[in-house]
Amino acid sequence: MNRALVIAEHSLGKLNASTAKCVSCVQGIGEVEIDIAVLAADAGALAAEAAALGGVRRVLTLERPENVEALAAVWAPQLAALAGGYTHLFGPSTTFGKDLMPRIAALLGVGQISDVMAVDSAYRFRRPVYASNAIITVEAPAGSIVVATVRTASFQPAAGGGQAPIEALAVTATLPTHTRFVSRSAANADRPDLQTAARVVSGGRALASAENFKLLYQLADALGAAVGASRAAVDAGYAANELQVGQTGKIIAPQLYMALGISGAIQHLTGIKDARTIVAVNKDSEAPIFEVADIGLVGDLFTIVPELERLIRARQ
Amino acid sequence: MSPILVGIKRVIDYSVRVRVKPDGSGVVTDGVKMSINPFDEIALEEALRIKERNLATEVIVISIGAHEAQQQLRTALAMGADRALLVQVDGPVEPLTAAQVFLKLVQKHQPQLVILGKQAIDDDNGQTGQMLAALWERPQATYASKLELDGARARVTREVDAGLETIEIDLPAVVTTDLRLNEPRYIKLPDIMKAKKKPLDVTTLAELGVATPTQGIRTLKFEAPPTRSRGVMVKDAAELLAALQQRGVL
């Protein structure tokens, strides 16, 4: 029997959707008992959320004041101490999991499989390399713990309806004080989250200014969509870094992705390959974005975007 | 003051359209342009700027890989690194092995900082920095977009999913670079000439006392990704809306 431990990601007192997707990925390995580890200063509500996920055997909480922020150097020794007896240790391939999981793997003396996009068996997985220009099948050695990060865009969240028991644990681990949290800029909380939104409206360099990005926000509001941006738009200062979609930004899989004034560099396309419907609006009919778009429109986005917003609002 | 170590990986240039070999054994590398991993270039630029502010004694660049990686180390020397070391390994190097190599070099050189790219654009693993920090039992500041040194401490702004996060770390530490940390300098011709005289040593895993892993993660095959096909073209906003409705998206 495989035994898997999923590391819960959370912020502002809520479980991140990545946790349910990690559970769903782990369920793909077949016969498996799944535990979720919740590290926090106060794990109460988080543990209850995790316990409600379907297919979870138990939720383990590690409550200490030092766990208030997810500092890899602080969390990794505790999770390494907890890892004994598990065959699989999984976390999300978000900046949280990408920061934390390799630190745990090294403490356990094993390698890590990054960005699992498909599960072939308990020890065989598929993952993207070369900015998703190739997919490799990898095999971890049986007999040692498999540490992996999960590409959340590739998995549906696990169903709810679970009633797993919650157990408070204490592990003996010396926690370092050499790493200290200072601050975090508040992301725009009154909009859908880019990583999990069903609809995303994204802008590129052609927007030409941060001011013009407001056009996108208005269309996004009409659609109930999150806003994204290409690397070029972020580098030019038109949009905040956390809005970047693509290989080095966020990899997303919305129902609808609208690429407005985005030429479609390979690094950007990597981030949207799993979107169900891709719409491209660009004045350059040769732009590579049209090669992957389900619906393409060649034209001036400064007239098309407001017109589209007007038509959508007229329907409502 | 102490040195800064920087990792330099030789990878297929970011502008090359990577293709999978028909037999699935790897990707096409024959006649393909090779370069320094772009995130490593940013790491080197940051180290050079610190040294230019007289906050480091020297910048040592390290590559782990094939004999040909000497080309990328020469480029790094031309950018301004003081000396280079190639740990020559044939075949792929797992991140845990790379971290073990860096640990040996950290013990030898006692740097204040090891600056690495957040990931290499070939295997996209993104693990080596965090693994080194774990083995070294020192802080890690991944995805850095700003690095401010303050004596025995550093304040690092990190690009995280939620936005920007700032942490304070004690030195020595490992920092991994994100895109917006800096813009690497261009190399001038006289620097290329000067770089030819700078020291470039070659060593091996065995000489460093790092075991070759026997039981790592194995790559079984490479495949081309599924492709999306070109869809329909519409001529105005109204048609676009109709097409979205037809697909059941709105």
Residues of chain B with Cβ-Cβ distance to A250 below 8 Å are 161
> Each residue of A235-272: pLDDT tens digit?
999 999 889 999 888 889 899 999 999 999 988 998 99
Q: Report CA-CA distances (Å) from A101 to A176, B128, B130.
A: 17, 11, 8
From residue B250, how far is each of A225, A255, B240 by CA, in Å?
A: 12, 10, 11
- Asked if residues A151 and A128 have their Cβ atoms less than 8 Å apart, the reply is yes
Which letter does DSSP use for residue B47 in this model? Answer: H
> Do residue B162 and residue A11 have CB atoms under 8 angstroms apart?
yes
Check CB contact under 8 Å for A130 and B220.
Answer: no
Strand order in the sheet with B173-177: A179-184, B163-170, B153-160, B140-150, B173-177, B113-117, B4-7, B59-65, B83-88, B200-203
Closest-CA residue to A37 (of A73, A76, A66):
A76
Give the pLDDT score at A189.
64
How large is the average pLDDT for residues A141-156? 94
Q: Is the peptide bond before B172 cis (omega within 30 degrees of 0)?
A: yes
CA–CA gap between residue B220 and residue A129 (Å, rounded): 13
Name the strand (E) or helix (H) holding B77: helix B70-79
User: A-B interface: how many C-beta pairs under 8 angstroms?
Assistant: 253
Instruction: Give me the residues of A, 116-155, that contact B with CB < 8 A.
Output: 124, 128-141, 144
Please choose, from the candidates A215, A218, A221, A241, the residue with its C-alpha nearest in 3D space to the C-alpha of residue A229: A241
Residue B188 domain-assigned (yes or no) = yes
Q: Which of residues 73-92 of B touch A (CB under 8 A)?
A: none
What residues of B are in contact with residue A180 (Cβ under 8 Å)? 167-169
Around Cβ A122, how many Cβ atoms within 10 Å?
A: 19
Per DSSP, B27 falls in state: B
Contacts of A11 in chain B (CB under 8 A): 162
Q: Chain B contacts of A231, Cβ < 8 Å? A: 179
Q: Please spell the DSSP secondary structure of chain A, one letter per residue.
A: -EEEEEEPPEETTEE-HHHHHHHHHHHTTSSEEEEEEEEESS-HHHHHHHHTSTT--EEEEEE-GGGGS--HHHHHHHHHHH-TT-SEEEEESSHHHHHHHHHHHHHHT--EEEEE-EEEETTEEEEEETTTTEEEEEEPPTTS-EEEEE-GGGSPPPPS-----EEEE----PPP-SEEEEEEPPP-TTS--TTT-SEEEEE-GGG-STTTHHHHHHHHHHHT-EEEE-HHHHHTTSS-GGGBBSTTSB----SEEEEES----HHHHHTTTT-SEEEEEES-TT-GGGGT-SEEEES-HHHHHHHHHHHHHHH-
Closest residue by Cα to residue B115 from B208, B42, B10, B202: B42
In a domain? residue B246: no
Min CA distance, A165 vs chain B (Å)?
30
pLDDT value at residue A247? 82
Residue B98, phi-psi category: left (phi > 0), alpha (psi -120 to 50), beta (remainder) = alpha
Is B180 part of any domain?
A: yes
Write the CATH number for B48: 3.40.50.620
Q: How many residues does chain B have?
A: 250
pLDDT 10s digit of each residue in chain B, 250 long?
899 999 999 999 988 989 999 999 999 999 999 999 999 999 999 999 999 999 999 999 999 999 999 999 999 999 999 999 999 999 899 999 999 999 999 999 999 999 999 999 999 999 999 999 999 999 999 999 999 999 999 999 999 988 899 999 999 999 999 999 999 999 999 999 999 999 999 999 999 999 987 789 999 999 999 888 889 999 999 999 999 999 998 8
The C-alpha atoms of residue B39 and residue A301 are separated, in whole angstroms, by: 33
| Within-domain flag for B162 | yes
Which of A134, A144, A291 lies at the smallest CB-CB distance from B225? A134
Q: What whole-number distance in Å separates Cα of residue B207 and Cα of residue B187?
A: 33
CB neighbour class for A236 (10 Å; exposed up to 12, middle 13-18, buried from 19): middle
Q: Is the pLDDT of residue A279 over 90?
A: yes
- Per-residue pLDDT averaged across A174-185, rounded? 95
Query: What is the predicted pLDDT for the residue at A188?
Result: 64
Give the closest-approach CA distance of B155 to chain A in angstroms: 9
- pLDDT at A187 (0 to 100): 62
Judging contacts by C-beta atoms under 8 Å, the chain B residues touching residue A134 are 18, 20, 27, 222-225
In chain A, the residue whose alpha carbon lies closest to the alpha carbon of B237 is A308
| A239's tokens | 């949009």
B46: left (phi over 0), alpha (psi -120 to 50) or beta: alpha
Q: Mutate which of B217, B220, B232, B241 to test chain A, going by most A C-beta atoms within 10 A? A: B217
> Average pLDDT in the A295-310 region?
97
Which of B167, B140, B7, B124 is closest to A128 using CA atoms? B124
Q: Does position A143 have pLDDT exceeding 80, yes or no?
A: yes
Q: Is residue B233 part of a domain?
A: no
Spacing of C-alpha A71 from chain mean position: 18
A contact test, residue of B100, B112, B124 with most A CBs within 10 A: B124
Evaluate if residue A282 carries a pLDDT over 80. Answer: yes
For residue A19, the number of C-alpha atoms closer than 13 Å in the C-beta half-sphere is 28
- Point out the residue among A103, A234, A308 whose CB comes nearest to the CB of B133: A103
User: Looking at the complex, does the CB of residue A198 fall below 8 Å from at least one CB of chain B?
Assistant: no
A212-221 pLDDT tens trace: 999 999 999 9
Strand ranges across the sheet with A124-129: A118-121, A124-129, A134-139, B218-223
> Does the beta carbon of A240 lie under 8 angstroms from any beta carbon of chain B?
yes
Domains and CATH numbers, chain A: 2-169 (3.40.50.620), 199-315 (3.40.50.1220)
List, in sequence order, every residue forming a beta bridge with A141; answer none if it has no partner. Answer: none
Q: Residue B86's domain spans which residues?
A: 4-220
Interface of B with A in 93-112 (CB under 8 A): 94-96, 99
Element (H, E) at B62: strand B59-65
User: Per the structure, how many domains does chain B have?
Assistant: 1
Whether residue B164 lies inside any domain: the answer is: yes
Does B21 contact chain A (CB < 8 Å)? no
Asked if the Cβ–Cβ distance from B122 to A130 is below 8 Å, we say yes
**Alpha-carbon distance B17 to B250, whole Å?**
35
Contact A295 B234 (CB under 8 A): yes
More confident residue, B213 or A306: A306
Q: What's the gap in Å between the CA of A304 and the closest CA on chain B?
A: 6
Strands A134-139 and A124-129 come out as antiparallel
Residue A20: phi and psi, rounded to 5, are -65, -30
| CA–CA min distance A138, chain B (Å) | 4
Mutation for testing the A interface, residue in B17, B234, B240 having most A CBs under 10 Å: B240
* Partner residue opposite A292 with nearest CB, options B217, B228, B249: B228
* Contact of B250 with A316, CB cutoff 8 Å: no
Mutate to test the interface with B, among A16, A19, A136 (most CBs of B within 10 A): A136
More confident residue, A40 or B250: A40
Mark yes or no for CB contact B240/A295 under 8 Å: yes
Instruction: Assess if residue B127 is contained within a domain.
Output: yes
B227 domain-assigned: no
What ipTM score was computed for the predicted complex, to two decimals?
0.96
Q: Which A residues in the span 249-288 are in contact with B, Cβ-Cβ below 8 Å?
A: 250, 255-256, 266, 273, 276-279, 281
